[in-house]
């Protein structure tokens, strides 16, 4: 027969309240913690998380919804989040919605019915409609990489507009005036912000925005290759290119290599994210790198604070700066 919490109390000489406090993350004296953990090992105690969740209304589960599991930006952030939450006894359930609003809605339904204690999401939908029921049930929500109107939740993101503005400004200072941009899909917050940054850089340096130098991709490798092909065919006078997403950076580089375009002799190039890929490229790429580890840390800490009863009004925004890494592609 499996050991019970009463058996732990008997073995340690501690009260049930102390044993319960230990399992629920409460304050327990260090000497009592050591006694409990020794008894757990000796008695081979296994807590029934399902039963405890029904009783306490806490499942120790955090729902995570991301647009694409294959996106390195998503993967790096969620890896950091999982590592931190695990240290506090929380497990994550990650759902990849394939950048599809319907799949995202289904993922939110799944997490809500699994009674997760909180939700971390990089939304595909711009409405935030599916998040309100979590908030109405006092489940903390932390949004990554987006700002959603009319949703009272915490948000952690990079200053996307500034990141692109600074990168494009470097190309302008290198005497380029025909600068192409591979942007993301329409109606995606990050994509819109990055296009704003591109426009601001040109305007602040007295250059006109030429819409024919903007090509949209879909944040995939294939989308990046297709977008750069379109620009090369329609604007052979383009002398520099800024690609605003990692997967599209890879796709763009593949297409440029296939066409034999020499970087930077024939085309100056700034990509996005993943230092390892930038260093592995020849020549080494100049890139805008988002601080994924820091983002993941802030997301996890904010979730833990909310779960711990932080009474501050939700809606805090953490806007971080990207890092520019100099390569040899300009």
Per residue in 263-277, pLDDT (tens digit) is: 999 999 999 998 888
Instruction: Could you list the beta-strand ranges (E) of 197-322.
Output: 214-216, 240-243, 268-272, 286-289, 317-320
How high is the mean pLDDT of the chain?
91
pLDDT score of 54 more than 50: no
Cα of 251 vs its chain's centroid, Å: 21
pLDDT tens profile 230-244: 999 999 999 999 999
Torsion of CA 111, 114, 118, 122, to 10 degrees: -10
218-232: average pLDDT: 96
Which pTM was predicted?
Answer: 0.80
- Determine which of 12-21, 156-165, 247-256, 280-289 has the lowest per-residue pLDDT on average: 12-21
pLDDT recorded at residue 1: 59
pLDDT mean over 74-94? 94
Q: Report the chain's C-alpha Rg in angstroms.
A: 24
Per-residue pLDDT at 28: 82
pLDDT of residue 19: 86
pLDDT at residue 52 greater than cutoff 60? no
Q: What is the pLDDT of residue 50?
A: 47
For residue 103, the model assigns a pLDDT of: 93
What are the structure tokens assigned to 249, written together?
A: 């950076």
For residue 119, the surrounding DSSP H or E stretch is: strand 118-121
Which pLDDT band holds residue 70 (cuts at 50, 70, 90)? confident
Residue 107 has pLDDT above 90, yes or no: yes
Q: Identify the pLDDT of residue 167.
A: 97
Q: Which tens digits make up the pLDDT trace of 181-215? A: 999 998 888 999 999 999 999 999 999 999 999 99
Alpha carbons 66 and 96: distance in angstroms, whole number? 5
pLDDT more than 90, % of the chain? 70
Instruction: Please tell me the distance from the alpha carbon of residue 309 to that of residue 299, in angstroms, as a whole number.
Output: 16
CA angle 160, 124, 163 (to 5 degrees): 5
**Number of C-beta neighbours around residue 206 at 10 A:** 7
With beta carbons less than 8 A apart as the criterion, state whether 110 and 97 touch. no
161: CB partners within 8 A, 6+ apart? 193, 194, 196, 197, 200
Evaluate if residue 55 carries a pLDDT over 80.
no
Local confidence band at 171 (pLDDT 50, 70, 90 cut-offs)? very high
pLDDT band at 49 (very low <50, low <70, confident <90, very high): low
User: What pLDDT was estimated at residue 33?
Assistant: 87
């Amino acid at each position: 027969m499996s050991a019970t919490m009463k058996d732990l109390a008997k073995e340690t000489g501690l009260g049930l309240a102390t044993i319960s406090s230990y399992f629920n993350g409460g304050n327990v004296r260090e000497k009592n913690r050591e006694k409990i953990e020794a008894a757990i090992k000796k008695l081979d105690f296994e807590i029934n998380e399902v039963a405890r969740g029904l009783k306490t209304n806490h499942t120790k589960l955090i729902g995570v919804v991301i647009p694409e599991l294959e996106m390195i930006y998503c993967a790096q952030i969620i890896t950091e989040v999982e590592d931190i939450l695990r240290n506090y006894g929380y497990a994550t359930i990650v759902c990849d919605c394939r950048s599809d609003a319907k799949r995202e809605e289904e993922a939110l339904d799944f997490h809500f019915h699994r009674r997760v204690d909180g939700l971390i999401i990089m939304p595909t939908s711009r409405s935030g409609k599916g998040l309100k029921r979590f908030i109405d049930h006092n489940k903390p929500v932390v949004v990554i990489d987006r700002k959603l109107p009319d949703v009272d939740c915490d948000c952690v993101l990079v200053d996307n507009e500034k990141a692109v503005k600074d990168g494009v400004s470097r190309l302008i200072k290198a005497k380029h005036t025909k600068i192409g941009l591979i942007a993301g899909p329409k109606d995606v917050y990050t994509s819109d912000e990055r296009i704003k940054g591109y426009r601001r850089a040109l305007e602040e340096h007295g250059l006109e925005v030429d819409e024919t130098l903007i090509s949209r991709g879909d944040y995939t490798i294939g989308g990046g290759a297709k977008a750069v092909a379109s620009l090369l065919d329609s604007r052979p006078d383009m002398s520099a290119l800024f690609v605003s997403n990692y997967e599209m950076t890879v796709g763009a580089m593949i297409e440029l290599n296939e066409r034999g375009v020499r970087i930077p002799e024939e085309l100056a190039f700034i990509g996005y994210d993943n230092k390892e890929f930038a260093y592995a490229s020849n020549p080494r790429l100049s890139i805008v790198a988002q601080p994924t580890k820091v983002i993941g840390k802030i997301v996890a800490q904010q979730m833990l604070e909310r779960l711990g009863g932080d009474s501050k009004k939700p809606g805090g925004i953490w806007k971080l700066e990207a890092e520019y890494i100099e390569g040899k592609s300009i």
